[in-house]
Structure 1
Amino acid sequence: MPTSHEPSHEPDHEPDHDEPNHGWNAGDRVPVVDDPAAVTPQWLTAALRAGGTEAEIIAVSHEAIGTGQLGASYRFHLQARPGQDGSAPSTVVIKMAAGDLRTRSLIATAYRQETGFYRVFAPSARIRVPRCWYAGLADDGLSFTLVLEDAHPASPGRQVQGCTTDQATAAVRNLAGLHAPFWNDDTLTEQATWLRRTSETALRSMREVLVSAADTFVARFRADLSVADADVLLRTADQIARWGRRIRHRTSLIHGDYRLDNLLFTADGQVVTVDWQTLEAGFPGRDLAYFLSTALPAPQRRRQETSLVAAYHERLLRHGVTDYPLDACFEDYRLGTLHGPMTAMIGCVYAPGTPTESSDQMFLSMATNCAAAIRELGTLDLL
């Protein structure tokens, strides 16, 4: 994913701010492209106009950026016709499909989730996201194109490095801006029939996949895992279907992969969220617990989780959530911790591409931090 995008609206610390994200105009038709050579000045002019920027682009250049596994990203430098320079961005980030058609068919759901977020939900969300001028998806679902704002020099988070208390606080407050507008909204899948929602059949299938992934993961990292961590990871896999049934009492729109590598930190202390391929109608505590249990080493999490959950909860209330006491929020955080090892182990075992030392370190740190949180918070006992 690109290194940075510009946020689409004002800082989250303005409590009464309710400006929607600028978004893709469904009435405009711009061809979906999956080759940067197809991004001509004429194409970019049409894409920007689809998103509400009336400028004519007369020259472009680009370079590849990011290391996303589900697409390719490029930074495009734009030259507008003289006299229009102030209305057009000087750079944009364009994300598009990559790989052969067989590979794309396996991850086509991710393409639909991400373009769908910008098309359908971003205008109502209070979370900071890149401005999106164009979100196109091919009829066969195997190609997509996003034209997003570039927020260089915002700094991407790094999973293996962790984050500061201030960054964690900004991140959980930002997350509340995603959950609050869609809190217990039963119409989410009516608004978007493509939006994922876990069924009973999916839960049973998930257990089979996760048990296999956990066995492989624990065997692979046996030398790096404590006996206690390995036990938690294996038990988590075995209990994942029961967990899925236990967390049906609360629903919102969730990111599904809300971790440091998908967050961009701006110079003014704000957070911009990218990579929406795992969008889902699901339990909001999953996002919160996933972030805190993967971004913070166990000692830091133990010291700060109470105040960070409270910061998230306070921002939910400020955004209009009612009948949700802090103790219920903290229990949802406890319940959500099983999301972390599930995502880490499946990602590690089944992700496309060749494992690297850095990817192994990332998945291992995520799994061990999550295992510690599950054990210390007694999450398995809640089931």
Structure 2
Amino acid sequence: MNVLIETADDITPAWVGEVLGVVPDALDVTPVGFGQIGSCLRVTLSGEGLPPSVLVKLPTADAGTRGMLVGAYRSEVSFYRELEPTVAVDVPRCHLATDVTDDGRFTLVLEDLAPARQGDQLRGGTPEQVLAAAENLAGLHGPRWCDPTLLELGWITMQDAEGADLLASVYGPAIDTFLEITGPLMSAEAAATVRATEDVVVGWSLARAERFGIVHGDYRLDNLMFSPDPAVPVKAVDWQTLSLGLPAKDLAYLVATSLDAPERRACEEAVVAAYHRRLLAHGVTGHPLEECWDDYRFAMLQGILVSVFGCAYGARTDRGDRMFAVMVERTAAAVRDLGTLDLR
């Protein structure tokens, strides 16, 4: 049987048996989430030797959109197939990750994390949630810290001069669109900070390349599942934006976009210190806490960069507009507090 499927109708007891090794007595399929770049289906299972449910991720049905998303689909599938076994970040267990075809078809079957709860980007997180997420993040960065074999993978890359040139050509227009959309939702101070990033973002994107690792690229509350289990309090999902780069970009993005300024100011040094301790536990050497803190300050532009492009070029929703505005309001405050624009 071909385990690569295309629609919910293809999820049959026989197919589940092929994937999980046990044919269920019965199953029920329901959609989960909004499905903007694909579909996510919860498959509830009955029968001995099976989990209560699994999640099945499929690409969008629109062939044109699917073709444009091949790279993102391959990133997530390749993470589970090639990188996840080599790192220590807590993620859903992967039951199946097929090849991604040239026209963007794939099938991914993952552990269903219910009753864990997704973080809420608009509402923000708690310092305790951010601390747990930062410690989990060190499990992504630490085991492959500056690992030269990452540069040989091909499907995951580091920013280069060509990419920096492209960034220089599109970032200014993206800022214009972003501020047109979010202007009424943000302070004038935050908008001014966004404008000020245009002069430094290209050099910033290439800087500190001597320290690199696997960068999730969108490690924020909406992509984190929080559990009351103290042994595994958080798991990270959505691995479609992977790159190689300065690991602190993920850390700065997480902290700045999750917490309003007073909460962030009160806990960020402790969060960075806890993340750094976990890095050392995963074998990182030659990276003192002072350097980690400086990288964290420097990396703060990540939250603005990702939000500007996500808002300017992504599918618009009312929640999305408000979310990007809040993320940038929080991050812009961190950029000003930490003197990020003065760092090189």
- TM-score over 0.5 for the alignment? yes
> Which of these residues, 120, 128, 138, is aligned with residue 90 of structure 2?
128
Aligned pairs for 1:164-313 within 5 A: 164-190=126-152, 192-269=153-230, 270-313=233-276
Which residue pairs with 2:304 in the alignment?
341
Which residue pairs with 2:17 in the alignment?
45
User: In structure 2, what residue type is equivalent to 1:231?
Assistant: A
The DSSP-based 3-state class of the residue aligned with 1:303 is helix
User: In structure 1, what residue type is equivalent to 2:139?
Assistant: G
Task: Say whether the 8 Å CA contact 1:30–1:136 is kept in structure 2.
Answer: no
Structure 2 vs 1, CA of residues 41 and 305 (structure 1 numbering), >3 Å: closer, same or farther?
Answer: same
User: In structure 2, what residue type is equivalent to 1:155?
Assistant: R
Which residue pairs with 1:108 in the alignment?
70
> Which of these residues, 31, 42, 53, is aligned with residue 75 of structure 1?
42
The DSSP-based 3-state class of the residue aligned with 1:95 is strand
Which residue pairs with 2:113 in the alignment?
151
Listed one character per residue, the Cα deviations across residues 186-232 of structure 1 (whole Å, up to 9, x for unaligned) are: 11132x22113222101110222221111111233333333332221
Listed one character per residue, the Cα deviations across residues 48-75 of structure 1 (whole Å, up to 9, x for unaligned) are: 2xxxxx4233432210111242211011
Which residue pairs with 1:56 in the alignment?
23
| Alignment partners' CA distance in 2, 1:146 and 1:237 | 38
Listed one character per residue, the Cα deviations across residues 307-347 of structure 1 (whole Å, up to 9, x for unaligned) are: 11001001111111111110000011011111111100110
User: In structure 2, what residue type is equivalent to 1:300?
Assistant: E
| Alignment partners' CA distance in 1, 2:209 and 2:304 | 19
Bigger mean CA offset, 321-330 vs 59-68: 59-68
User: In structure 2, what residue type is equivalent to 1:70?
Assistant: I
Listed one character per residue, the Cα deviations across residues 129-150 of structure 1 (whole Å, up to 9, x for unaligned) are: 0000101133315111110111
User: In structure 1, what residue type is equivalent to 2:329?
Assistant: T
Task: Say whether the 8 Å CA contact 2:182–2:321 is kept in structure 1.
Answer: no
**What's the TM-score, normalizing by structure 1?**
0.86
Bigger mean CA offset, 231-240 vs 113-122: 231-240
Listed one character per residue, the Cα deviations across residues 219-249 of structure 1 (whole Å, up to 9, x for unaligned) are: 3333333333222111213321100121312
Which residue pairs with 2:326 in the alignment?
365
User: In structure 2, what residue type is equivalent to 1:382?
Assistant: L
Structure 2 vs 1, CA of residues 379 and 330 (structure 1 numbering), >3 Å: closer, same or farther?
Answer: same
Structure 2 vs 1, CA of residues 238 and 106 (structure 1 numbering), >3 Å: closer, same or farther?
Answer: farther
> Which of these residues, 279, 282, 305, is aligned with residue 319 of structure 1?
282
| Alignment partners' CA distance in 2, 1:221 and 1:91 | 39
- CA-atom RMSD, angstroms? 1.5
User: In structure 2, what residue type is equivalent to 1:162?
Assistant: G
Task: Say whether the 8 Å CA contact 1:207–1:238 is kept in structure 2.
Answer: no
Q: How far does residue 125 in structure 1 lie from its aligned partner after superposition? A: 1.5
User: In structure 2, what residue type is equivalent to 1:88?
Assistant: L
Unaligned stretches of 5+ in structure 1?
1-28, 49-53
Which residue pairs with 2:53 in the alignment?
91
| Alignment partners' CA distance in 1, 2:208 and 2:19 | 40
Task: Say whether the 8 Å CA contact 1:156–1:260 is kept in structure 2.
Answer: yes
| Alignment partners' CA distance in 2, 1:251 and 1:166 | 27
Task: Say whether the 8 Å CA contact 2:304–2:332 is kept in structure 1.
Answer: yes
Task: Say whether the 8 Å CA contact 1:247–1:335 is kept in structure 2.
Answer: no
| Alignment partners' CA distance in 2, 1:253 and 1:357 | 32
Which residue pairs with 1:329 in the alignment?
292
Task: Say whether the 8 Å CA contact 2:87–2:139 is kept in structure 1.
Answer: yes
> Which of these residues, 122, 147, 163, is aligned with residue 125 of structure 2?
163
The DSSP-based 3-state class of the residue aligned with 1:57 is coil
| Alignment partners' CA distance in 1, 2:295 and 2:35 | 30
**What's the TM-score, normalizing by structure 2?**
0.95
| Alignment partners' CA distance in 1, 2:113 and 2:229 | 12
Number of residue pairs matched by the alignment: 342
User: In structure 2, what residue type is equivalent to 1:182?
Assistant: R
Q: How far does residue 263 in structure 1 lie from its aligned partner after superposition? A: 0.2
Structure 1 position 379 matched with structure 2 position 340: yes
Task: Say whether the 8 Å CA contact 2:3–2:18 is kept in structure 1.
Answer: no
The DSSP-based 3-state class of the residue aligned with 1:238 is coil
Q: How far does residue 44 in structure 1 lie from its aligned partner after superposition? A: 1.5
| Alignment partners' CA distance in 2, 1:142 and 1:95 | 13
| Alignment partners' CA distance in 2, 1:367 and 1:162 | 13
The DSSP-based 3-state class of the residue aligned with 2:165 is helix
The DSSP-based 3-state class of the residue aligned with 1:144 is coil
User: In structure 2, what residue type is equivalent to 1:351?
Assistant: G
Sequence identity percentage:
41
Listed one character per residue, the Cα deviations across residues 75-120 of structure 1 (whole Å, up to 9, x for unaligned) are: 101233xxxx1x3212101111013111111121110000000000
User: In structure 2, what residue type is equivalent to 1:67?
Assistant: F
Unaligned stretches of 5+ in structure 2?
none
Task: Say whether the 8 Å CA contact 1:112–1:141 is kept in structure 2.
Answer: no
User: In structure 1, what residue type is equivalent to 2:272?
Assistant: V
The DSSP-based 3-state class of the residue aligned with 1:69 is coil
